[in-house]
């Protein structure tokens, strides 16, 4: 392997680039995207990614349904989203072009593998003619038609592969060209190829040849006049690595188990987009991780409770449909008052919904989706890297309160990635867990006695003298015996709720971007953080009185949230659902809120949030209380801005 080449052409420095790579499901676009991300991160850029792929493993080839895309933004300044409009779009076939072109900005770069633009492919994409031939295309974008398949065949010819196998190298050709265009080093990918295909040297050599041929094509073809350079970003000092959300959850769980000195049990059932947590944890059995792939979601939940009863750090995860199945078990975990973590990596719903797309529509399910009064603490990470901190915090709260804690992630965070500053392990606070070790003199053991956090003792089987029975029937305070006493049921219901609510007193106050009072407050939670943060910043730069509150503690919320909400004339709540946090805020704090709501399986564009905010900053506040809520979804694909309810 020789060093990465350098260009002799003109290089233009820009602050950031948003590029999307789109092709057929089998074209290797996710691989290409991941490589571009890692390479950019190692170059010191801030990066944010958005993989977008169909639910079908091998969707019909060449069709619009089978298009798989990977969007990455890399920048020399701090970024919080994978970008709105694309600066460049690489398409491997006509279906990829027509389904993605709408996001390419005017004057943006369109690179097409023209070998994929043939009659058969037009039919598969339900097109009458070659979409590249439309005159508007050349007028609107900077179009580069590259015969990638043919050039790849030439490049790999000497490695003696069959044409079918050789053609699979074309994603590396595309990668090489993209790397040239954006001044990326080939080193990371060369290393990757040698690691991945080390046992098949002819494949490794062919992929390397294709990668270099792609780079050389950019360097030598006159069509490409200049390439772009994105300087390193100024991130906080430290050692960084690229981190995906699900990976960060897994690492956070492992870290929490190390911090409390307990082995980790992870009971789960495969479901998109949560399965990668299982795959990641299963690699780390040497940390004392036991993964259990259960026969179904219910078994996964209940095995987790069984492990928790035994004194292990127990965790389960799923997505909405699986969480629905776990609901009864979660209720049991709550009344048993045992610590555990339940993760919901949300996807598009309802029912099976949009398994590979993102949405935030399980908030109320997690708040209220169990029978009876069964409140649980809920935390929501705001970025892929934040998943790590949230996992550790969830276990700390679960053991402090002796109750299941829910983490609400989503598909956007799960598969997205960003640079993650490696924490100083020694500075991570230990999680101190005490199990009672034996009887206190002649006093009978009280499994439902309370400490200052209203938590009961975690007495585990194997401890002499502390034998006790737990169960789903209402408990007598103190003894834990079955009790039908009316006053006791009221007392226990109140206590379980108070135990959760008291968390608000111990977590940090809610912070805010901008002033703590003013015209508009944007309130968000979960994976929309980046878009909302960036949109608010843009509006602030434009001189508007706008602040941003992003909630990581969803239940209970920090104790100053109500006060902050009341300090603004208008509260806007953007969510990838039809208004679930808005409903909670209204009912909890009696503050009116305006929703910006979208359920299209896609994250917010910054621009649609800026538009929504700007439509309110100019309006004299609190004077339009009688305007009507539209509630209608708009067919134009824009987020639905709900007016103030009358």
Interaction site with other proteins (CB under 8 A) = 38, 41-42, 44, 188, 232, 234-242, 251, 254-255, 258, 263, 265, 267, 284-290, 292, 294-296, 298-299, 301-312, 314, 328-329, 332, 336, 422-423, 425, 461-473, 481-482
Residue 367 to residue 520: CA distance in whole angstroms: 27
SS3 155: helix
Q: Between 185 and 607, name the residue whose CB sits nearer to other proteins.
A: 185
Least distance in angstroms from the C-beta of 41 to other proteins: 7
Q: Between 302 and 549, name the residue whose CB sits nearer to other proteins.
A: 302
Q: Between 481 and 600, name the residue whose CB sits nearer to other proteins.
A: 481
Least distance in angstroms from the C-beta of 265 to other proteins: 5
SS3 437: coil
Least distance in angstroms from the C-beta of 283 to other proteins: 9
Residue 521 to residue 325: CA distance in whole angstroms: 36
Q: Between 483 and 510, name the residue whose CB sits nearer to other proteins.
A: 483
Cα torsion angle, 535, 233, 276, 339, sign: negative
Q: Between 432 and 465, name the residue whose CB sits nearer to other proteins.
A: 465
Least distance in angstroms from the C-beta of 201 to other proteins: 23
Q: Between 60 and 472, name the residue whose CB sits nearer to other proteins.
A: 472
Least distance in angstroms from the C-beta of 386 to other proteins: 16
Least distance in angstroms from the C-beta of 257 to other proteins: 9
Q: Between 114 and 298, name the residue whose CB sits nearer to other proteins.
A: 298
Least distance in angstroms from the C-beta of 291 to other proteins: 8
Least distance in angstroms from the C-beta of 289 to other proteins: 7
Q: Which residues contact 603 (CB under 8 A, 6 or more apart)?
A: 50, 81, 82, 358, 412, 527, 528, 531, 576
Length of the chain: 646
Residue 409 to residue 503: CA distance in whole angstroms: 20
Least distance in angstroms from the C-beta of 43 to other proteins: 8
Q: Between 29 and 41, name the residue whose CB sits nearer to other proteins.
A: 41
Least distance in angstroms from the C-beta of 44 to other proteins: 6
Least distance in angstroms from the C-beta of 606 to other proteins: 25
Whole-number CA gyration radius for the chain: 27
Q: Nearest 5°: CA angle at 343, between 421 and 83?
A: 50
Q: Between 200 and 285, name the residue whose CB sits nearer to other proteins.
A: 285
Least distance in angstroms from the C-beta of 181 to other proteins: 22
Residue 604 to residue 83: CA distance in whole angstroms: 10
Residue 107 and residue 141 in contact, taking contact as beta carbons nearer than 8 Å: yes
Residue 265 to residue 257: CA distance in whole angstroms: 10
Read off φ and ψ for residue 514, nearest 5 degrees: 100, -165
Task: Provide the edge-to-edge strand list for the sheet that holds 313-318.
Answer: 289-293, 264-268, 313-318, 340-346, 404-410, 378-379, 553-555
Least distance in angstroms from the C-beta of 642 to other proteins: 39
Q: In 3D, which of 586, 585, 603 has the Cα closest to residue 639?
A: 603
**Which residue is listed with tokens 């609190």?**
622
* Residue 551 host element (H or E): strand 546-551
Two structure tokens written together for 513: 């971007």
Residue 330 to residue 624: CA distance in whole angstroms: 43
Two structure tokens written together for 38: 């890692």
Residue 642 to residue 631: CA distance in whole angstroms: 6
Point out which residues pair with 408 in neighbouring strands.
344
Residue 155 to residue 465: CA distance in whole angstroms: 75
Q: Between 265 and 525, name the residue whose CB sits nearer to other proteins.
A: 265
Least distance in angstroms from the C-beta of 199 to other proteins: 20
Q: In 3D, which of 602, 254, 234 has the Cα closest to residue 395?
A: 254
Q: How far is residue 163 from each of residues 93, 94, 167, 206, 376, measured CA to CA in Å?
A: 19, 22, 6, 12, 57
Alpha helices in 25-82 (DSSP H): 29-42
Q: Between 241 and 489, name the residue whose CB sits nearer to other proteins.
A: 241
Q: Between 479 and 643, name the residue whose CB sits nearer to other proteins.
A: 479
Least distance in angstroms from the C-beta of 39 to other proteins: 9
Least distance in angstroms from the C-beta of 443 to other proteins: 14
Looking only at the bridges linking them, the beta strands covering 289-293 and 546-551 are unpaired
Q: Between 468 and 491, name the residue whose CB sits nearer to other proteins.
A: 468
**Which residue is listed with tokens 């339940």?**
342
**Which residue is listed with tokens 């969830």?**
394
Q: Between 290 and 540, name the residue whose CB sits nearer to other proteins.
A: 290
Q: Between 251 and 412, name the residue whose CB sits nearer to other proteins.
A: 251
SS3 139: helix
Locate the DSSP E strands across 95-179: 104-113, 142-146
Two structure tokens written together for 166: 């050789």
Q: In 3D, which of 564, 555, 561, 551 has the Cα closest to residue 501?
A: 555
Q: Between 383 and 483, name the residue whose CB sits nearer to other proteins.
A: 483
Q: In 3D, which of 201, 209, 210, 89 has the Cα closest to residue 149?
A: 210
Point out which residues pair with 293 in neighbouring strands.
268
């Amino acid at each position: 392997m020789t060093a990465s080449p350098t260009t002799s052409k003109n290089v233009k420095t820009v602050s950031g680039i948003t590029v999307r790579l789109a092709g057929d499901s089998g074209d290797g676009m996710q691989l290409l995207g991941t490589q571009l991300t890692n390479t950019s991160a190692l170059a010191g850029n801030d990066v944010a990614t958005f993989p977008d792929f169909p639910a079908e493993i091998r969707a019909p080839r060449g069709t619009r349904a089978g298009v798989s895309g990977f969007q990455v933004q890399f920048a020399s300044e701090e970024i919080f989203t994978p970008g709105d409009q694309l600066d460049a779009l690489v398409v491997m076939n006509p279906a990829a072009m027509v389904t993605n072109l709408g996001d390419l900005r005017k004057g943006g770069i369109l690179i097409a593998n023209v070998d994929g633009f043939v009659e058969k492919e037009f039919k598969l994409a339900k097109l009458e003619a070659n979409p590249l031939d439309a005159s508007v295309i050349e007028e609107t974008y900077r179009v580069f038609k590259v015969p990638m398949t043919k050039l790849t065949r030439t490049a790999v010819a000497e490695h003696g592969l069959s044409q079918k196998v050789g053609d699979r190298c074309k994603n590396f050709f595309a990668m090489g060209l993209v790397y040239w265009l954006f001044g990326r080093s080939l080193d990371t990918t060369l290393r990757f190829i040698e690691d991945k295909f080390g046992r098949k040297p002819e494949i490794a050599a062919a992929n390397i040849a294709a990668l270099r041929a792609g780079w050389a094509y950019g360097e030598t073809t006159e069509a490409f006049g200049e390439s772009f350079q994105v300087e390193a970003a100024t991130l906080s000092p430290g050692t960084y690595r690229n981190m995906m959300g699900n990976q960060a959850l897994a690492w956070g769980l492992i870290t929490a188990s190390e911090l409390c000195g307990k082995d980790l049990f992870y009971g789960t059932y495969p479901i998109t987009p949560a399965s990668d947590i299982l795959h990641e944890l299963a690699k780390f059995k040497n940390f004392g991780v036991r993964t259990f792939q259960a026969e179904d979601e219910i078994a996964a939940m209940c095995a987790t409770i069984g492990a928790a009863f035994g004194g292990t750090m127990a965790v389960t995860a799923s997505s909405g449909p699986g969480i629905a199945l776990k609901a009864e078990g979660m209720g049991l975990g709550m009344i048993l008052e045992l610590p555990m973590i339940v993760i919901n990596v949300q996807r598009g719903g309802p029912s099976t919904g949009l398994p590979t797309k993102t949405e935030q529509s399980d908030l109320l399910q997690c708040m209220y989706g169990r029978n009876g009064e069964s409140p649980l603490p809920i935390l929501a990470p705001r970025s892929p890297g934040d998943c790590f901190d949230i996992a550790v915090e969830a276990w700390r709260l679960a053991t402090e309160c002796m109750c299941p804690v829910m983490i609400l992630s989503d598909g956007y965070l799960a598969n997205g990635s960003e640079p993650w500053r490696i924490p100083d392990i020694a500075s991570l606070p230990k999680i101190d867990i005490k199990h009672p070790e034996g009887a206190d003199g002649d006093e009978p053991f009280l499994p439902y006695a309370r400490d200052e956090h209203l938590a009961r003792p975690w007495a585990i089987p194997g401890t002499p003298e502390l034998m006790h029975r737990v169960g789903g029937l209402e408990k007598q305070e103190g003894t834990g015996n079955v009790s039908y006493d009316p006053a006791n049921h009221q007392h226990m219901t109140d206590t379980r709720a108070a135990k959760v609510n008291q968390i608000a007193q111990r977590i940090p106050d809610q912070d805010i971007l901008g002033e703590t009072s003013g015209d508009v407050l944007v309130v968000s939670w979960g994976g929309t953080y980046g878009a909302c943060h960036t949109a608010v910043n843009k509006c602030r730069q434009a001189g508007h009185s706008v602040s941003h509150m992003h909630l990581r503690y969803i239940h209970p919320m920090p104790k100053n949230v109500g006060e902050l909400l009341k300090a603004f004339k208008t509260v806007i709540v953007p969510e990838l659902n039809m208004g679930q946090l808005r409903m909670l805020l209204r009912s909890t704090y009696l503050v009116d809120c305006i929703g910006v709501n979208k359920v299209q399986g896609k994250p917010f564009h910054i621009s649609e949030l800026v538009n929504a905010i700007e439509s309110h900053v100019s309006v004299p506040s609190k004077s339009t209380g009688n305007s009507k809520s539209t509630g209608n979804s708009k067919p134009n694909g824009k987020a639905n801005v709900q007016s103030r309810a009358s």
